[in-house]
Chain A
Amino acid sequence: MQFNLDINGERHALDVDTRTTLLDALRDHLGLTGSKKGCDHGQCGACTVIVNGRRINSCLTLACMHDGDEITTVEGLGAPEDLSPLQLAFVEHDGYQCGYCTPGQICSATAMLDEIKAGWPSNVTGDLEAQVDASIEEISERMSGNLCRCSCYPGIVDAIRQVAREEAGA
């Protein structure tokens, strides 16, 4: 099947089997290997990308369903010489060990901070209508779709909190 994917501001023409997931299209057909395949069943979050501003599991969606959508992968968030604030904060706070889950963590956290800014409540929000604070408890709950087998959660939460504070202060 032929269709286009708009990834990190660039249009790519694809001709792939309908079964191709967005994750496999990125990795195997477009060479964008930043997004990782962990469980391939939406349980680990290593494949998280941002589609039309929302974080999703790229392993649980068909590439052909995203014709015309605006897709951002970790490659689109920053580059080695120009890291995004979250990428810098993950380095600073040692938010990884093996690094396999990190692209998914960073894509997820990038969109998650926008969800907090939009005032979305979470399962641990006390008052559904009050302003949400990027507390440790809120970040932990909102990031529960991203697993880290090295268990670097304290560093991950610290990195995200730092960026949330920086953004709130800006």
Chain B
Amino acid sequence: MRSFDYVRAGDTAQAVREAGSEETRFIAGGTNLLDLMKLEVMAPGKLVDITRLDLGGIEETADGGLRIGALVTNSDLAADARVRRGWPVLSRALLAGASGQLRNKATTGGNLLQRTRCYYFYDRGEPCNKREPGSGCAAKDGVNRILAILGTSEHCIATHPSDMAVAMRALDARVEIEGAEGRREVALGEFYRLPGDTPQIETVLKPDDLITAVLLPAPAGGRQIYRKVRDRSSYAFALVSVAAVIEVEDGVISKAQLAFGGLGPMPWRDADVEAALVGAAPSAALFDRAADILLAEAKGYGGNDFKIPLTRRTLAAVLTQATEASA
């Protein structure tokens, strides 16, 4: 690990002041950042410790939603009684991720900013445009079974690894950010950036921007499901995952909010898929049409071609479960 300066921030304003350069990183749980620093994939010159900031609470908002502090751990968020009752897809997604030890350390803000687990991003002996812009992408023609089929570019086919963010995207979450110019909110759907020719830039955050909270709107109701397909049944990243909030009224789908993990460089959501479902009666043919829309632009790179049929089948399974008559 390269050496770094360490500063413990006493309040949010100080944290923002201490940041402001590409060389500085905030640290909270540290479960991903320190891993990458040990491998020198990331080598910040300065760490600003934000763990003592007052960002650890979950509060109810005036509109019936929740304000989740950036330092709330994945464990606490998953176990929160209000989340389990009103936003169960979020609890489910959190519990499907990582291990008990990691969930106890990993924070809400940090989880959103997880880096890809692409093997070539981690391997400093290989080219990677995300790690070293302009060096090339070894994944396209390499071992790529875990990598993306949607939203890729010729420069990068990395996936975003979070489960939590997939559920939050389905729930229309917003990210609260404190920066040098004050506080702002960004919809999670506008928070991440496609790789294009700058895969090293993953979000709209500026160096001195600090995530202070995630805002959830009032409970979406409906049936909420998080289905994760992976190589082993626990403690593994998703090959494909689906977060679903589905409501059926009088035999017709009245609400469909769907987000996908393991497919793209960000938790993926496609308004056309949801529009095709709403107002229609559930059927295998309808679910197949939804998959056609979702996967119209999908591109496999050899090792990950299987994700295209796997996504189709996982989506059908989730929609079948979400729309079948209640027992």
Q: Contacting B38 at CB < 8 Å: which of A40, A54, A55, A144?
A: A40
Contacts of B98 in A (CB 8 A): 145
Contacts of B3 in A (CB 8 A): 17-19
CB of B149 within 8 Å of the partner chain: no
Contacts of A64 in B (CB 8 A): 6
> Mask for B111-134, Cβ within 8 A of A = 1, else 0?
000000000000000000000000
Contacts of A140 in B (CB 8 A): 234
- Distance of A22 from chain B, by nearest CB (Å): 10
In the bound complex, how far is the Cα of B34 from the Cα of A115, in angstroms?
26
Q: Are B31 and A145 in contact (CB under 8 A)?
A: no
In the bound complex, how far is the Cα of B4 from the Cα of A143, in angstroms?
34
CB of A32 within 8 Å of the partner chain: no
Contacts of B38 in A (CB 8 A): 40-41
Contacts of A1 in B (CB 8 A): 6
CB of B63 within 8 Å of the partner chain: no
Q: Are A65 and B51 in contact (CB under 8 A)?
A: yes
Contact A129:B51 (CB < 8 A) given known A18-B4, A45-B99: no
Q: Contacting B6 at CB < 8 Å: which of A18, A40, A45, A123?
A: A18
CB of A108 within 8 Å of the partner chain: yes
Contacts of A60 in B (CB 8 A): 30-31, 34-35, 102, 105
- Distance of A47 from chain B, by nearest CB (Å): 9
Contacts of B104 in A (CB 8 A): 54-56
Q: Are A18 and B99 in contact (CB under 8 A)?
A: no
Contacts of A108 in B (CB 8 A): 100-101
Q: Are B27 and A121 in contact (CB under 8 A)?
A: no
Contacts of B99 in A (CB 8 A): 45, 144-146
Q: Are A62 and B34 in contact (CB under 8 A)?
A: yes
Q: Are A119 and B79 in contact (CB under 8 A)?
A: yes
Q: Are B79 and A112 in contact (CB under 8 A)?
A: no
In the bound complex, how far is the Cα of B79 from the Cα of A55, in angstroms?
16
Number of residues from A at the complex interface, CB < 8 A:
38
- Distance of A32 from chain B, by nearest CB (Å): 18
CB of A72 within 8 Å of the partner chain: no
Number of residues from B at the complex interface, CB < 8 A:
36
In the bound complex, how far is the Cα of B91 from the Cα of A30, in angstroms?
38
In the bound complex, how far is the Cα of B34 from the Cα of A18, in angstroms?
12
Contact A128:B6 (CB < 8 A) given known A121-B79, A121-B84, A145-B99: no
Q: Are B27 and A65 in contact (CB under 8 A)?
A: yes
In the bound complex, how far is the Cα of B102 from the Cα of A118, in angstroms?
18
> Mask for A133-154, Cβ within 8 A of B = 1, else 0?
0000000111111100000000
Contacts of A145 in B (CB 8 A): 98-102, 235
Contact A45:B95 (CB < 8 A) given known A61-B30, A118-B79: no
Q: Are A115 and B100 in contact (CB under 8 A)?
A: yes
Contact A128:B30 (CB < 8 A) given known A19-B3, A121-B78: no
CB of B174 within 8 Å of the partner chain: no
> Mask for A1-44, Cβ within 8 A of B = 1, else 0?
10000000000000001110100000000000000000011100
CB of A162 within 8 Å of the partner chain: no
Contacts of A112 in B (CB 8 A): 100
Contacts of B8 in A (CB 8 A): 65
Residue from the set B5, B8, B79, B96 with the largest chain A CB neighbour count within 10 Å: B79
Which single residue of chain B is at the shortest CB-CB distance from A57? Answer: B101
CB of B92 within 8 Å of the partner chain: yes
Which single residue of chain B is at the shortest CB-CB distance from A48? Answer: B101
Q: Are B235 and A54 in contact (CB under 8 A)?
A: no
Instruction: List 4 other contacts, CB 8 Å, given A41-B35, A61-B105, A142-B100.
Output: A18-B3, A42-B35, A57-B101, A112-B100
What are 15 A-B contacts with C-beta separation under 8 Å? Answer: A18-B4, A41-B35, A56-B101, A56-B104, A62-B27, A62-B47, A108-B100, A108-B101, A112-B100, A118-B79, A121-B79, A121-B95, A123-B95, A144-B234, A145-B100
